[in-house]
A and B are shown apart, each in its own frame.
Chain A
């Protein structure tokens, strides 16, 4: 019996070209609750993208087991059902958009699922509205900014009505405005539609509103807790090759300098509040 949506048990994965004794994912176990918002942080090569591909069955574990909503990813006959439940969004929006009109592109997924045209229409409209792109339904993708394109890619996944969305560095190629747009859309899907979200990134700022933060390094999980706790582990963050946001770094320095502050805060406003309350509290 299991209550979680995703169950990863002692999974190890090694790419063919990997050197002997070096694995991409090393004996990783974790479970993800339905409706939760989890952020996976790690530097390039930490194994986080490999984990994403293992989750939707693109890669099969060498050892261990992954079960999505009761379906084992290593069984080929489950592939179709798993991909219906778990959608994957990648880094480069240009590689994910194939049609010449935005709404056609969003309809592509549900069409392949064999859904009725009337229902597709409904889903496309709803998906575009959820990511704030309704006004661009008839636009050509090349006229859109990076952030807009990435939201179209997200709508295309949404139109398949998955229960879980895994996003692999969806904002890495976007400017700050585009980054905000995409993160806001993702947060909304989680809060309003109760979609389980797994966001893979190396921007710590994007993990601020998550329920849970997991840090990966060298194919292993090195931290797994709520954001405030994980972000105060500055040694673990640094040794995992993550750069701390200026705010967290500042709070760590203040703590070392004798101020009794919590160093796991990320937003500038929250940081100022924390410093102010400690200073004025004495």
Chain B
């Protein structure tokens, strides 16, 4: 079932400053419950603008957003409540922490939803455990925490609202591999538990091929491609034209094929590639 859907969505920023903002034009796609879509595109491709239309921070000039099959802007006065349903995690969310303690920061969203103190406490315990935030850290000021710990506190604040759709703008930027794996695992676990739809913007083709069911390629504010991870990465020429890359391991397979080896190149993970090459090798003996 489609949990979030956009139809012919367009938005242009009013021309009030010299700063260039990316517009979006005629965006239509659909996200199912439990599904993960990755968005690829350069800085200025309209990614951030699109993300902000999804939870109503930006009202589109034309076109519609449907949340659970209902028009997001059906009643503009209720848009505030809708934002609890589509949890948007901005780039570098740790810069938005402001409360006295990490605990209070995570509680901020759920409190605004009007949840009881007991329910809030329950959720904080659940989601800090999911994200590996220690009880000791919960009572500290967010400013005493490391970058990776702060990031997890910011994410916990969104998860504690238990949104139906989780939208993440480069959630792992600046994190080291351990921090990255931890964050991705937490997102997966949340999705398995709640069957939420997830949208991830990332520059790492390797991470996207691991996390996503589908990919959406955005360029100049328009959808250039939308399909399964395989379909999108198979068209490496089109991606290269847009200045985007396929995963490193796919490039290796493409190079081998170009050298004349009769080998599959529709491969995006290391394990698959190793299997294919070893197979090829043993057959050619």
The digit string for B129-146, where 1 denotes a CB below 8 A from any CB of A, is 000000000000000001
Q: Take A146-B43, A176-B245 as given contacts and tell me if A202 and B177 are in contact as well, using a CB distance cutoff of 8 Å.
A: yes
**Which residue of A172, A173, A250, A253 contacts B252 across the interface (Cβ within 8 Å)?**
A250
- The answer, yes or no, to whether A134 is at the interface (CB within 8 Å) is no
* Residues on A with beta carbons closer than 8 Å to the beta carbon of B18: 143
- The answer, yes or no, to whether B280 is at the interface (CB within 8 Å) is yes
* Residues on A with beta carbons closer than 8 Å to the beta carbon of B270: 246, 249-250, 253
- The answer, yes or no, to whether B176 is at the interface (CB within 8 Å) is yes
Residue contact A44 to B147, C-beta cutoff 8 Å: yes
Q: Which residue, A242, A272, A273, has most C-beta atoms of chain B within 10 A? A: A272
- The answer, yes or no, to whether A279 is at the interface (CB within 8 Å) is yes
* Residues on B with beta carbons closer than 8 Å to the beta carbon of A253: 270-271, 274
- The answer, yes or no, to whether B278 is at the interface (CB within 8 Å) is yes
**In the docked arrangement, what's the CA distance between A269 and B252, Å?**
6
* Residues on B with beta carbons closer than 8 Å to the beta carbon of A268: 248-249, 251-252, 255
Whole-angstrom distance between the Cβ of B179 and the nearest chain A Cβ: 7
Q: Take A145-B43, A250-B249, A253-B271 as given contacts and tell me if A276 and B177 are in contact as well, using a CB distance cutoff of 8 Å.
A: no
Whole-angstrom distance between the Cβ of B69 and the nearest chain A Cβ: 35
Residue contact A275 to B19, C-beta cutoff 8 Å: no
Shortest Cβ distance from A256 into B: residue: B274
**Which residue of A44, A91, A282 contacts B179 across the interface (Cβ within 8 Å)?**
A44
- The answer, yes or no, to whether A241 is at the interface (CB within 8 Å) is yes
Shortest Cβ distance from A178 into B: residue: B43
Whole-angstrom distance between the Cβ of B215 and the nearest chain A Cβ: 16
**In the docked arrangement, what's the CA distance between A177 and B148, Å?**
24
* Residues on B with beta carbons closer than 8 Å to the beta carbon of A101: none
Interface residues of B (CB under 8 A from A): 18-20, 42-44, 92, 146-148, 173-180, 203, 206, 243, 245, 247-249, 251-252, 255-256, 259, 261, 270-271, 273-274, 277-278, 280-281, 284-285
What would be 28 A-B contacts, judged by CB atoms less than 8 Å apart?
A: A43-B176, A44-B147, A143-B19, A145-B43, A173-B92, A173-B173, A173-B174, A176-B245, A177-B43, A177-B243, A241-B176, A241-B178, A242-B177, A243-B177, A253-B270, A253-B274, A254-B277, A259-B277, A259-B278, A268-B248, A268-B251, A271-B255, A272-B251, A272-B255, A276-B256, A279-B280, A279-B281, A279-B284
